[in-house]
Each structure stands twice: as C-alpha cells, then as structure tokens.
Amino acid sequence: MTSKGKILVVDDEPMVLRLLTMQVERLGYTATAAPNGPDALALLKKDPFHLLITDVVMPDMDGLSLMQHAMTIQPDLECIVVSGQADLAIAVEAMKMGAINYIQKPISLMELEVSLAKGMERRTLLKTLKQSQLELSQHRDQLEQLVAKRTAELARINKQLEADIKARKKAEKEAEQRRRQLIEADKMVSLGILVAGVAHEINNPNNFITMNAPILHRAWEDFLPILEEHYQEQGDFPVAGIPFSEMREHIPELFSGILDGSERIRKIVFNLRDYARQGISDMDQDVDLNTALRAALVLLANPLKKATDHLSVHYGEGLPLVRGNFQRTEQVIINLLQNAYQSLASPHQHLTVSTGLDSKTDTVFVEVADQGGGISPKNLKRILDPFFTTKRDGGGSGLGLSISAGIMEEHGGRLEFSSQPDKGTIARAVFPITTSEGK
C-alpha cells in the first residue's frame, strides 16, 4: 500500500514513542522515530518530512523550540504538538507558531487520524496557494504590459484625431470600456488574494456540517440518559480523554460552536459571491455606508486580524443614504482598508475605521486611520496616479486608489488623504447625501 506521507515522531518516553509510531503506521503513514529534539533535527537535515509530531516536555530541547528550528530547516513542515498536561498557554503558543493541533495524552487513534489528515490537506492547499499566487503575479504583469501598450496606442490615436470630433468620441468610448475592464480586473486581483486555493464548492461540505451537527446533537441527548445511568452505577469514566462528569456539560457548547462556525462560513461565502458579482453598472441604488462597511470587514476579516490586534470600528448612527452602486462603494472601502493594514509594521499598531455625517457640507464619509509608516509629501501628491505604488515588490498594482478615485467621481464624491511619515495616514471617502424625497 502506498504511504500517505512521511511523519517524524519525537518523544523522550520510549514506550510512548513506540506506541505513537505504531499508531501513525497503522493509519497508513511512514513513521520515523526520534527520542529527542537534536536527533529529530539531524533527521530533518538529511531527508524532508511531511509532518512533525512532537512532545512538549523533553530534555535538551522542548517541543516548541524543536518546532521553531524544524520549520527553519523545512518551512513547509506541518506540526502537531502532544502533551500529557492540559496547558492552555502552551496550546495557544503552539498554534501561534503554526501548529495545526495540540493533542493531550493519551492520544486516541481517531483524533490522531483527523490531525494527520488535516496536516496533509493543509500542505496541499498551501502548495496550491503558492502556485495560484505565482500565476496571479504573472497575469498582473501581463495586464500592466497590455494596459501600458494600449494606453500608448490611445494617446497616439487621440493626437492624430484631435480635430475630428466624431473620432474623439469613439476614442473616449473605448477608453471608458477599458477603464471598466480595469475595474473588474482590479476586483479579481483583490478577490484572488482573499480566496486563492479555496474551491467555490465550499458550500457543499458546509451544508453537510449544518445538516448533520443537529442530528449528532440529538443523538447525544438520546445517549445521555444511558451514560448518566452508567455513571451513577459504575462511577466516572473518560469520554474523548475527559471525564464524563465534565464532558457532559461541554458537549452542547461544542455543537453550538460547530453551528456558529458553519453560519460564519455561509456568510463569508455569500459576501464573496456578492462582491464578485458581474453586471454591477446600476448607479441608481440607495446605499447604506454602514452596510457596505460591514460587508467589506467580513471579506477582510482574516488579513485584518493578522495585521493588527487593535482594530476599532465605529458606525455613525442614522446616516443618510448615498445614491450610487453598492458593490463599487464596497470596492472603494476594501481598497482603503487594504492600503491601511498593509502599511502596519506590527500588530501592536492601531487601525480605526468609522462612518459619519458632515452636516456642514451635506456629506457622509468612511474614514480609515492607521498608525503605519505614513506617506511622504512627494508620494502623497501622486497617490491617485494610475500604476503609482510603493508596494510593487509586494504585489501592488498601483490601480486600486486610482480606480477608487474614478468610482468616487461617478458617485459625485471624492477621496481625501492626510499623512505624516512614521506617524500614519488618514484616508476618507466622502459621498454626497441622497436628496430624493422619502430618503
């Protein structure tokens, strides 16, 4: 039988090491055993592995230190941490370092199987993600070359047909069509960064979770009287490694957490599909800025969480509506948020987002303030120029703010920026208030 993958197992207790190795091989993987951290690192330097399973408390080198050194030798190595103690602090630290799971001894074969499968699946997903990012970068470069070429061609045409009003209108129509194509292209770049490697069929397994979790919950409720009777007659017994007397209180919470997570997945997929929806040229919608901001925050929840530990969101109350297009308004907010969190050098830096009303100018606004590196006065003057970016090495196209400025013009609004180097930037999208009756 073909091996599912190569697993490096590390534990200083010979009996535990032998048992864990046997369990791994029983699940169809190739297992290599190491009694300590230094020996494990020596094996890693000779031959790559798919996944590392390590004990926490070991002499010479503890499990977390081994993880850190191992991932330096092999960056794509997935890790599972096991321990005989239920230490929440160690579990949290292991997850921050990139571990896919923290398992308490004794380890059940089912839990080990699920963790190994998760690790192998994540390796495949990350490989796919890297390939997608490479392809995305190549497509972006091709797009920039194509746009530059066509822009030059358009300039020559305009110069040659400057006196011909009919030809000028035709060129303007072509330029408008090209600009709309760029809007869609920029949206797909942003969307690709958010969902690269994730299959659109994600709703299918999520529906499976949503439908079956309540059934399992009801099954547990049916089993509970039998287990309770056994507990009263025979005393306490373990359930998934936890005493029944404790586990019976937590099972309902676990089912509730599963359903809450499934609902969050559903909302994220819905917002992604809504954001990417084609045919959004309708500019006669009544847009609620608070609703658009909430939708943008759902799409960017993961990168925002990684970028800052201090995200503050303030929604203005009773804001008047804006006449325009919901998806394009959302696109402007997403571009402002992306520029803000990408400027942060540390999760300790703050990012504040707010909506509000300026009664003096009859406008409403979305404001994004960050404590990033700021923008020099020289670059601040060019920030809305097409293809101008200070993040080209990091994948920036230089189109986001330029396209956002065009969208704001369509709404009769504008973008405003103020910034100080090393202190941060404040970006504001200002919209005129809808004046139609009844709004």
Domain assignment of residue 116, yes or no: no
Bond from prior residue into 225 cis (ω within 30 degrees of 0): no
Tokens of 352: 């504040």
Structural domain ending residue among the three candidates 72, 107, 142: 107
Q: Are residues 98 and 72 in the same domain?
A: yes
Domain extent at residue 408: 285-432
pLDDT at 438: 38
CA 344 from centroid of its chain's CA atoms: 16
CATH for 24: 3.40.50.2300
Q: What CATH number does residue 370 fall under? A: 3.30.565.10
Q: How far is CA 237 from each of CA 240, 243, 247, rounded to the nearest angstrom?
A: 10, 6, 10
Would the pLDDT of 439 be above 60?
no
What pLDDT sits at residue 190?
59
Does residue 348 belong to any structural domain of this protein? yes
In a domain, residue 117? The reply is no
Residue with tokens 């013009």: 409
Same domain, 352 and 219: no
Q: What is the band of 165 on the pLDDT scale with cuts at 50, 70, 90? A: confident
Radius of gyration of the chain (CA): 28
Check whether residue 317 and residue 397 sit in a common domain: yes
Structure tokens at 122: 């994540």
User: Are 289 and 418 contained in the same domain?
Assistant: yes
Domain count, the chain: 4
Q: Which of 55, 231, 198, 224 is nearest to 128 (CA)?
A: 198
295 and 373 housed in the same domain: yes
Contact call for residues 191 and 276 (beta carbons, < 8 A): yes
Of 363 and 174, which is predicted with more confidence? 363
**Does any domain span residue 249?**
yes
Sheet holding 30-34, edge to edge: 30-34, 6-10, 51-55, 78-83, 101-104
Nearest in space to 187 (alpha carbons), one of 332, 388, 41: 332
Whether 13 maps to a domain, the answer reads yes
CA distance 23 to 114: 13
Residue 437 forms part of a structural domain: no
Q: By mean pLDDT, which of 39-53, 61-75, 227-241 is the weakest?
A: 227-241
* DSSP element (H, E) containing 199: none
* C-alpha to C-alpha distance for 135 and 286, rounded to whole angstroms: 38
pLDDT at 176 over 80: no
The least confident of 153-162, 238-247, 348-357 is 153-162
* H-assigned helices in 308-396: 326-342, 377-380
Q: 206 and 192 in one domain?
A: no
The verdict on residue 78 lying in a domain is yes
Same domain? For 290 and 427 the reply is yes
Compute the mean pLDDT over every residue in the chain, rounded to the nearest whole number.
82
Q: Tell me: do 304 and 427 sit in the same domain.
A: yes
Using the 3D structure, point to which of 248, 276, 304 is the last residue of a domain. Answer: 276
Do 264 and 154 belong together in one domain?
no
pLDDT band at 278 (very low <50, low <70, confident <90, very high): very low
Average pLDDT (316-338) is: 90
Same domain for 183 and 148 = yes
pLDDT digits (tens, 9 = 90+) for 375-426: 888 888 777 776 556 664 544 545 667 788 888 898 899 999 999 888 899 9
Residue finishing a domain among 177, 197, 217: 197
Residues 183 and 208 in one domain: no
Indicate if 103 and 128 belong to the same structural domain.
Answer: no
In this structure, is residue 113 part of a structural domain?
A: no
